[in-house]
Amino acid sequence: MPVNLVAPDSASLHPVAGVKLGIASAGIKKPGRKDITLIELAPGSKVAGVFTQNRFCAAPVTVCKQNLASGDIRALLINTGNANAGTGDEGIIRAQQTCKAVAELFGIDAGQVLPFSTGVILEPLPIDKILLALPAAKADLASNNWSDAAHAIMTTDIVAKAASAQVQISGKNITVTGMAKGSGMIHPNMATMLGYVTTDAAVSQKLLNRLVKEVADVSFNCVTVDGDTSTNDSFILIATGQAENTEITDATSSDYDALKAALSEVSIKLAQAMARDGEGATKFMTVQIEKGRDRAECKQIAYAIARSPLVKTAFFASDPNLGRILAAIGYAGVMDLDVNNIQVYLGDVLVAEKGGRAASYTEAQGAAVMKEPEITIRAVLNRGDVDATVWTCDFSYDYVKINAEYRT
């Protein structure tokens, strides 16, 4: 079951001026399942995105990149139940057909639509089902549909993921609301699975392009469930400008910092929710690497720990077999690492120092920490002043069961 995670209360999800969401059922994988989400954006909205680095990227990712380059995006279409990945040229054609159909509904150009898909790979997109559901999705458009939309984009997720924040910028109340889906096949190489964060702030396109990368780097690029980078990963940042604040054009301004903080707050909540709702998860784990030379080596070591099956299964069993953490640090690939200078902590308990077991450590201390549903692993490298944090979950029996039965 998800670790200390509940679906957000609809009342806590603030509408964003200039954004409407509509949900419908196409029956892509299951009859009656709400599996289509349509998002309409006000004219003048700015959109930026980062996408999977998986070389087998899905057809909608390819089309998204093409359409996003032209600017002036007015609509997004998300389907679950089918990834439209590993589908060759026909997959591109079908993704483009969905864009054309949405464009006809709104009286816009097909290049102003971004398509997204998630679900089973190597299966053709059921285009006819999707096209039939689009009018119902349009009829359902409303600014307060965030909760329903967050449910509609789920695949193996148990809990819907959405969050909101508000901040004052230039004397205006700025709203940030976003949603995401992801539970398995989670490991970043830009962002993780599908994430959509919107704001009514006015910000230049140049800075939005910068923000989407900076925000992804502190949120979606800091979570792993199983070390598998999806073919469909997409993180989209949308600014409608409807708050009528003075447009943010200076990355060194306090307004930029305030907007980045609000966007990061929402995105971090969504990213952490993915680890809390990891397939079969029973533990939520924070891996902190401290006093490294640079962020790259800190994240390299953090991910070696966080994606280790041996570490993750030990945490599931609440077994303080903590040599597995040392092994992961050692094979992370930081070749000049002096292990005699490293301290390793489990929660507040010093586990290892001077290249071996800490003299003060007892098995009972480790066992007590391991029983908690939320656990922090800290490795202090003592070779610099840079830190990095990664979030993950344990591996339970259910992870194997969920993925063994994914297509049934």
Residues tagged active-site:
192
**Residue with structure tokens 């979606």?**
220
Collect all residues with Cβ–Cβ distance below 8 Å to 252 and sequence separation of at least 6: none
Helix/strand/coil for 357: strand
> Can you say whether the dihedral through the CA atoms of 346, 352, 357, 358 is positive or negative?
negative
Tell me the two tokens of residue 195: 């994430």
Helices (H), 277-318: 295-306, 309-316
Give the whole-angstrom CA distance, residue 203 versus residue 206: 8
Give the whole-angstrom CA distance, residue 234 versus residue 65: 10
Is there a contact between 215 and 66 (Cβ–Cβ < 8 Å)? Answer: no
Give the whole-angstrom CA distance, residue 189 versus residue 220: 9
On the 0-12 / 13-18 / 19+ scale of CB atoms within 10 A, 75 is buried
**Residue with structure tokens 């930081």?**
334
- Residue 347 gets the label, from left (phi > 0), alpha (psi -120 to 50) or beta, of left
Tell me the two tokens of residue 196: 């959509």
For helices 323-331 and 295-306, give the axis angle rounded to 10 degrees: 140
Q: Residue 103: which of 80, 133, 73 has the closest Cα?
A: 73
How many Cα atoms are found within 13 Å in the side-chain-facing hemisphere of 26? 29
